[in-house]
Structure 1
Amino acid sequence: MPLVVISATVCVLFMLFLAVDIQKILGGRKYEISPEDYVYAALMLFVDIYEIFIHMLDFYRDD
């Protein structure tokens, strides 16, 4: 049970990170990513989505 709570909390946290990173990519705010930093932007999105997926798999883990 505690693993599910921790995984859910981490999923929500990385979903917030994903929203912030998408906002940085779209620009128009205080912090934005320049078009030349496309590799950094793609890596940020990949890591956020990867972490969300991995922690969602923890919901179905047999312990």
Structure 2
Amino acid sequence: MSMDAAESADEPGGSKTADAADPDAHLLSALEVIEQQPLAERAAAYAALHDELARRLESGPTTSRE
């Protein structure tokens, strides 16, 4: 299962606008969706989430948090 599937299952947290407004809420929402899945699908979803977060981290900061 890809991260896209997890996002589509949770429309309010899956929008780009919601990501920009509160990335923590998006992450928590994605984790809640993942936790509700069977173990095998959960492992794949966590791997996809890891890849997405790694890409964001490598791309550098997009906003200043002060």
Task: Report the TM range for the smaller structure's normalisation.
Answer: 0.3 to 0.5
Higher relative contact order (CA 8 A, sep 6+): 1
TM-score, with length taken from structure 2: 0.36
Q: TM-score, normalised by structure 1?
A: 0.37
Of structures 1 and 2, the larger Rg is shown by: 1
